[in-house]
């Protein structure tokens, strides 16, 4: 009986949840301090031709600090990218082109630019500040596909407020796994309110224990780490698939490691 009451109360709570609360729940998903991964990015152009890039990524503070090094194709090997997000000023973005042995900053106003010719823009790689958007919960009982299974999900609308964005709004489908809210699909609309991109995201659950690398102890934590991202630009009819492999977390990467010197050499 008690369980039933709790469930009813919980359901009631969920049903009355509003947009900002859901956005906060997504934002508050527990994340590791840092992540290192090897990624494969496949870019498909409108003629269906594919280009595959291998890259290593290191990030910290929910990707507020991030460095990416390109391993292949051979011609792009050694190119790298540094991003440091700031709350109170423009973000810092720099690219290292090894052929020229020169660093070049990327203007923060260029967030709509494509990242390495993919369908991901620099803005897509940047964390969203929860206060920069207004939210509206469109539905709490939508149906959506996740890992080939139909599941119930929330539908959340986010509209940028007073920020420089390439988008006019996002519609995000959110599922709940245990206590964690995960954005598994997102439609992003351009400034003319036309659908621009469809993103599908998959997560991998990683259990981390400080005491042992493998044993699950009381101090173990479960992290949901994105391990697959598909982006389709419906206007250009191009797509990008990012597969995240070899994920390592909480390696003790420090803020100072995100510097120009490290950008110039492969990890």
Partner 1 sequence: MKKISASITETCILYPKSVIFYSLLSIVILMGGLPYVHQDDDIINLLPEDIGSRQVFDEIQKEYGLTEYMYVAVGNNNTSILNKNSLKVIWDLTKEFEQIRKNDTLIVDNVISISNFNKIYLEIEEYTEGDIIYKDSLISVDDLMESKTLNNTQIKNIDSYLNDNPIIKKRLISKNGDYANIIIIPMDNEYYPDLAREIHRITDKYKTTNSTPFEFHFGGQAYVTGAVPDMVQSEVKILLVYGLLLMTIILFINLRSIQAVFLILVIILFSMMSMFGFMGWVYHFTNSKYFFFTLMNTSMPIVLLTIANSVGVHIISKFIRKLRKHRDKIIAIKETMKSLHMPIFLTSLTTALAFLTLYFSPVSAMIGYGITIGFGIMCSWILSNTLLPALIVILNWDVNSSAVSKPSYIENMMTKFGSLVSTKPKNVLTLGAIIVVFSIIGIQYINVEVQYNKMFKKGNVIRDSAEFLDENMTGNVNLLFRVRDTLDYKMTIIDSSIKGEPFKEPKYLNDIALLQNFLDSLDNVKTTISINDIVKQLHKVYEGNNQDYYSIPDSRQKVSNLFAFYEMNPDENISSILNDYKNETIITALMSTFSTQKVPEYQYKIQDFINDKIDNKNLTFELTGMMAFIVDFMWLVVKSSIMSLVLSILVIFITASAFFKSWRYGIMAIIPLTAAVALNFGLMGWFGIELTHITALLTSIIIGVGVDFSIHYISEYKNYKETTDLDILSKETIDSVGYPIILDAWSNMAFGALLLSSIIPLGHIGGLMVLAMISTSIGALTLLAAALELSKNKMK
Q: Are strands 50-60 and 169-177 parallel, antiparallel or unpaired?
A: unpaired
Nearer to partner 1, 16 or 235 (CB): 235
CA distance 37 to 227: 9
195-208 vs 180-189, strand pairing mode: antiparallel
| The residue to which tokens 């351009």 are assigned | 190
Our CB check for partner 1 shows the closer of 133 and 258 to be 258
Q: How far apart are CA 165 and CA 86, in angstroms?
A: 16
Q: For the CB of residue 241, give the shortest distance to partner 1 in the complex, in Å.
A: 16
Interface contacts to partner 1, rule CB under 8 A: 45, 47, 49-51, 73, 75-76, 79, 89-90, 92, 95, 97-100, 102, 104-107, 110, 112-117, 121
Minimum CB distance to partner 1, residue 143 (Å)? 32
Distance in Å, CB of 87 to partner 1, minimum: 14
Could you tell me the smallest distance in angstroms from the CB atom of residue 45 to partner 1? Answer: 6
Nearer to partner 1, 96 or 224 (CB): 96
Instruction: CB nearer to partner 1: give 113 or 141.
Output: 113
| Closer of 125 and 182 to partner 1 (Cβ) | 125
For the CB of residue 137, give the shortest distance to partner 1 in the complex, in Å. 32
Closest to partner 1 by CB, 96 or 181: 96
- For residue 52, the minimal CB distance to partner 1 (Å) is 8
Residue 72 Cβ, how far from partner 1 at the closest point, in Å? Answer: 10
Q: Using the minimum distance from each CB to partner 1, give the nearer residue, 6 or 266.
A: 266
């Amino acid at each position: 009986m008690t369980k039933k009451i709790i469930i009813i109360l919980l359901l009631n709570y969920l049903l009355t949840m509003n947009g900002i609360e859901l956005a906060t729940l997504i934002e508050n998903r527990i994340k590791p301090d840092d992540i290192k991964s090897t990624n494969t990015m496949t870019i498909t152009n409108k003629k269906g031709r594919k280009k595959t890039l291998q890259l290593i990524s290191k990030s910290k503070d929910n990707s507020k600090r991030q460095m990416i090094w390109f391993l292949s194709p051979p011609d792009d090997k050694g190119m790298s990218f540094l991003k440091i997000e700031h709350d109170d000023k423009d973000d810092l973005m720099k690219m290292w082109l090894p052929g020229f042995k020169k660093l070049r900053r990327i203007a923060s106003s260029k967030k709509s630019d494509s990242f390495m010719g993919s369908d991901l823009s620099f803005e897509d790689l940047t964390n969203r500040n929860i206060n920069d958007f207004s939210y509206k919960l469109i539905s709490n009982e939508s149906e959506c596909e996740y890992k080939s299974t139909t599941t119930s999900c929330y539908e959340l609308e986010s509209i940028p407020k007073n920020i420089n964005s390439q988008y006019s709004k996002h519609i995000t489908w959110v599922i709940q796994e245990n206590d964690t809210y995960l954005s598994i699909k997102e439609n992003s609309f351009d400034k003319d309110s036309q659908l621009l991109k469809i993103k599908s995201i998959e997560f991998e659950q990683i259990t981390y224990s400080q005491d042992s690398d493998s044993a699950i102890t009381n101090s173990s934590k479960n992290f949901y780490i994105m391990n697959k991202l598909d982006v389709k630009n419906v206007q250009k009819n191009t797509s990008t698939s990012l597969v995240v492999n070899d994920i390592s977390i909480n390696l003790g990467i420090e803020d100072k490691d995100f510097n120009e010197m490290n950008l110039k050499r492969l990890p």
